[in-house]
Amino acid sequence: MSRKTFQRLSLDVRRRSLMEATLTCVARHGLHGASVRRITEEAGVTVGLVRHYFGSKDDMIRNAYAYLVGQLTAQASESARAAEGTPEAQLASFLRANMTRPNMDEETVSLWATFIGRVRHDPGFAEIHRDGYREFLSVLETLIEPVLIHHGCPYSVAICRNHAIALNGLIDGLWMEGAINSGLYAQDILPDLITGAAERLLELPAGALSVPDIALQSTGHPTHREQQSKPS
Amino acid sequence: MSRKTFQRLSLDVRRRSLMEATLTCVARHGLHGASVRRITEEAGVTVGLVRHYFGSKDDMIRNAYAYLVGQLTAQASESARAAEGTPEAQLASFLRANMTRPNMDEETVSLWATFIGRVRHDPGFAEIHRDGYREFLSVLETLIEPVLIHHGCPYSVAICRNHAIALNGLIDGLWMEGAINSGLYAQDILPDLITGAAERLLELPAGALSVPDIALQSTGHPTHREQQSKPS
DNA sequence: CACACTGTTATACAATTGATTAATTTTAAT
DNA sequence: ATTAAAATTAATCAATTGTATAACAGTGTG
């Protein structure tokens, strides 16, 4: 009967491995089914390590949530930065990125929702959520501002912020319902749908955010844009 | 040591009492903290009744989720029906109702999010969610249609449906982020914010959905509408 | 009033939970 | 090679979990 062989990993690597295993288990079995044993088995280690790297299971889960939110906001900022070209193209690319993989992913949404449910009663979760939300709003404002100015729309910090709040609501709602997708509509209508909706929300001329020939390869659907998204 | 005295309640009453206790516990402690013992204590009964009224704890929770979704959609339909007057006033009233109590309630949102997190991996939950979502979309389409027609907007079933999807996303997102409210803005800017956003989303003339003097008492804020929506 | 029915309580049970501790093994420094 | 530090395992703990079962008690029926 020999002991399990193991590797000593650096603090960062091991911590991240445990947090990712935590997220995997929470997504798969819910918060209630994500036991320390399942998580550590998923990470390929034994239970004792939880205490060693995090004080407790709850602490590990909080850290995993922060890790998830960090990934999400980083991904969002990334999508925004990656898009080049006009401010319109950047905003459009950001919106479309949130309606396609990998950003719009059912497992991620499940995770996100599960944690959101704990925000109300756990101050630690609340802080993590608030920071992520603030960051997302900030990114949106940065993207919206030059578009409004460029089109000579009525502009002020307050207007821009209100637009960001509304647009964030739209993104969140479509992101969630779209990812969970109940089969009531095809998911691939969403990129065009949100583009049109954003144009109207910001009172831009129709088509202001639609793809200008090139420039949107990064969304994954470069070639076919067409009929289905035309509400008018 | 005497036994606990008790009342024999009708099947419906007892079942509902157990489901409500379940929702209370899930909201307060999360799915993982909502044990059979806590739930039955909350309901004022002993653990054995779970097996008697529901086959298992999981079955009870599924039923509680369906009960919650039923309440939510009923509340939404109610808000829609309660509003009288022009189609614009009805839609406006519906939107505002979703941005104010009792519809916009942090505990309800927490519950909703917690359950959404299980939709992906539990077919029972998925079906319940889909039915609720379909109902909500249907209500929205019914409200949107006459408004579009009345304003001579471009109209078709497909257009109306796309508008409903977008508007539903907007409502869901704002409802959730607003209820959780992280203190990044005042919650009471939301009724006016969503009204304006909906006007632009549907390409209605500015002010088409703003309160026409009376007609909106049912939202709970009849008298003061104005100044506070300026975040700056 | 006695009866049967069943809603309800009380208790027991095996399984799982998160936490703790001591014994080991890896790793790096000497 | 030796040694010391610490990362990791393995085993144990009391507490809690969901379920099952038998005893009890309230309710309406004859």
The domain that holds A51 is classified in CATH as: 1.10.10.60
pLDDT at position A9 is 75
pLDDT at position B219 is 44
pLDDT at position B197 is 98
Quick check: A232 and B154 CB within 8 A? yes
The reply to whether B2 falls in a domain is no
pLDDT at position A81 is 82
Number of domains observed in the structure of chain B: 2
Helices (H) and strands (E) in chain A, counts: 9, 0
Tokens of A190: 């969403």
The reply to whether B85 falls in a domain is yes
Q: Which residues of B touch A117 (CB under 8 A)?
A: 30-31, 110-111, 113-115, 117
Q: How confident is the model over B33-38, as a mean pLDDT?
A: 97
Q: How confident is the model over A147-155, as a mean pLDDT?
A: 93
Q: Which nucleotides of D are covered by protein (CB under 7 A)?
A: 7-12, 16-22, 24-27
- Is A111 strand, coil or helix? helix
pLDDT at position B210 is 87
Q: Which residues of B touch A153 (CB under 8 A)?
A: none
Cβ proximity of A71 and A108 under 8 Å: no
Tokens of A60: 């590990």
Q: Is the CB of B3 under 7 A from strand C?
A: yes
Quick check: B182 and A130 CB within 8 A? yes
CB pairs under 8 A between A and B: 183
pLDDT at position A211 is 64
- A35 touching chain B per CB within 8 A: no
pLDDT at position B220 is 41
Residue B178 is part of a domain; what is its CATH number?
A: 1.10.357.10
Alpha helices in chain A (DSSP H): 11-33, 36-43, 48-53, 57-82, 87-97, 106-119, 123-150, 157-180, 190-201
Interface test with A, best of B114, B134, B135 (most A CBs within 10 A): B114
Q: How far is CA A155 from CA A111, A137, A200, B232, in A?
A: 37, 17, 16, 13
pLDDT at position B215 is 43
Tokens of B73: 């959609």
- Same domain for B129 and B169: yes
- Same domain for B162 and B76: yes
Please give the protein residue whose CA is closest to the C1' of the nucleotide C17: A35
- Specify the higher pLDDT residue, B212 or A28: A28
- Specify the higher pLDDT residue, A142 or A6: A142
pLDDT digits (tens, 9 = 90+) for A75-125: 888 887 887 789 999 999 999 999 999 899 999 999 999 999 999 999 999
Out of A34, A120, A203, name the one closest to residue B180 (CB).
Answer: A120
Instruction: Find all residues with CB under 8 Å of A48, minimum gap 6, and list them.
Output: none
Tokens of A87: 């401010």
The reply to whether A5 falls in a domain is no
- Same domain for B188 and B134: yes
The reply to whether B126 falls in a domain is yes
pLDDT class of B79 with cuts at 50, 70, 90: confident
The reply to whether A117 falls in a domain is yes
Residue range of the domain that includes B19: 10-55
pLDDT at position A225 is 39
